[in-house]
Amino acid sequence: MGYYLRIEPDVNIYVEDVNQKSAKTILFLHGWPANHKLFEYQFNHLPSMGYRCIGMDLRGFGNSDKPSSGYSYDRMADDVRAVIEELHLENVTLAGHSVGGAISIRYMARHNGYGVEKLALFAAAAPSFTKLPDFPYGMTKEDVTKHIQETYEDRPNMLKEFGDLFFFQYVTRSFSDWFFQLGLQAAGWSTASLAASLRDESLFSDLENIQVPTLILHGIHDKVCPFPLAEAQNRGIKNSKLVSFENSGHGLFWEERDKFNQTLAEFIG
């Protein structure tokens, strides 16, 4: 079922909640610039395996409210805390893809992992989405700035070009159109603002504060968040396990969904 949670006086967050009776809960945070529907192929199967799957649309995306501000990692992490508190969640597996992974990491550091028993990162945009003098991986800041400018000038074309980078395996025209529509459901300003956070924020010190078992899943052909980001996460997070996906790009949860779902289920137990 889907419903809204009020996390600020003027901000409501949309949540899709499947199999509420299960004690094993996964809270999914989607990547930029999509929404909870990105995990359709997990919601199709994991509930039948005994898991409660909660998909949260980040503010500015999907069905959630789209305020003009509030797109820093800190604010997004605070939104996650509000959802966990509102739903009285305990012993959750927090699962984040791309920028959702970055927000998950910030949540663990900022809120001391409140309510979270395990962490799962999928093609996470961490510890830095952009190249730095001492971290030569990821996009350049200039490339991200170009995406932001294109968002304000021709957002549909920007989304199409980003979609072309997303998958390693062939996708049908119909699937590509569906994926494109997920991005259009966001607001232009939220798309640009969260991209600015991707460009400007980093999470090196946050990694050191994660104390729960962590699963890192990452496609070796990822052109959005290159595989060295996963290796850096693995080095920086104590008690973490890295599993590579040999036939995936940034969309491993679809490209190798059977392996993805099984690996995640085995990790959660």
pLDDT of 47: 97
Which tens digits make up the pLDDT trace of 35-74? 999 999 999 999 999 999 999 999 999 999 999 999 999 9
Is CATH 2.40.50.100 what the domain over 2-268 is classified as, yes or no?
A: no
Please say if 202 is a catalytic residue. no
Catalytic choice (30, 97, 218, 250) = 250
Q: Give pLDDT, residue 95.
A: 99
Which residues, 6 or more positions from 131, have their beta carbon under 8 angstroms from its beta carbon? 137, 138, 139, 140, 141
Asked about 22 being catalytic, the answer comes back as no
pLDDT the model gives residue 34: 98
The parts of the chain modelled with pLDDT lower than 70 are none
Contacts of 16 (CB under 8 A, 6+ apart): 1, 2, 36, 43, 53, 54, 55
Q: Residues 155-165: pLDDT tens digits?
A: 999 999 999 99
User: Around 182, how many Cα atoms within 13 Å sit in the side-chain half-sphere?
Assistant: 20
pLDDT at position 117: 98
- Dihedral sign from CA coordinates of 190, 191, 197, 200: negative
- Quote the pLDDT of residue 223: 98
- The pLDDT of residue 1 is 93
DSSP string, 144-168: HHHHHHHHHHHHHHHHHHHHHHH-S
Residue pair 128/203 in contact by the 8 Å Cβ criterion: yes
- From the list 64, 65, 98, 248, the catalytic residue is 98
As given in the structure block, the two tokens for residue 35 are 């929404």
Domain boundaries, the chain: 2-268
Which residue in the list 97, 222, 240, 248 is annotated as catalytic? 222
Q: What is the largest CA-CA distance in the chain?
A: 49
Q: Please, which residues bridge with residue 96 across strands?
A: 29, 121
Q: In sequence order, what E strands does the chain have?
A: 2-8, 11-18, 24-29, 51-56, 92-97, 116-122, 214-219, 240-245
Whether 69 is catalytic is no
Distances (CA, A) of 167 to 26, 179, 255: 24, 11, 7
pLDDT of residue 191: 98
How far apart (Å, rounded) are the C-alpha atoms in residues 30 and 167? 16
pLDDT of residue 52: 98
The C-alpha R_g of the chain, in whole angstroms, comes to 17
In this structure, are residues 37 and 182 in contact, taking their beta carbons and an 8 Å threshold? yes
